[in-house]
């Protein structure tokens, strides 16, 4: 059976596309967060949280959640690759 017809390879290709998409999105959010952090001067001492601060905190939370999901997907991808290589050896 050619690789393109094997359901495991189809799932692996789909997972790889998802990981690539999540990675690209994570990079975009990271650039936005870095830009937001560098846009204005930060006054010394305690201050009230402003809208950009809240947005930056939300972006960080979302980046952390995305990073966790990406790591989980990478673990699954490695597992599927290991399973595919084991089956090839047999």
Average pLDDT over residues 75-80: 88
pTM of this prediction exceeds 0.85 = no
Interval 28-70: pLDDT, tens: 888 888 887 776 554 545 556 677 788 888 888 888 888 888 8
Q: DSSP string of 36-48? A: HHHSS---SS--P
Interval 42-51: pLDDT, tens: 454 555 667 7
Q: Among 2-6, 35-39, 76-80, name the one with the lowest average pLDDT.
A: 2-6
Q: Could you tell me if 39 and 52 are in contact, meaning their C-beta atoms sit under 8 angstroms apart?
A: yes
């Amino acid at each position: 059976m050619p690789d393109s017809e094997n359901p495991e390879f189809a799932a692996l290709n789909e997972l790889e596309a998802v990981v690539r998409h999540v990675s690209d999105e994570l990079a975009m959010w990271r650039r936005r967060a870095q830009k937001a952090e560098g846009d204005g001067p930060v006054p010394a001492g305690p201050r009230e949280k402003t809208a950009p601060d809240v947005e930056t905190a939300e972006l960080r939370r979302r980046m952390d959640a995305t990073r966790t999901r990406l790591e989980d997907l990478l673990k699954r991808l490695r597992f599927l690759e290991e399973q595919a290589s084991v089956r090839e050896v047999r």
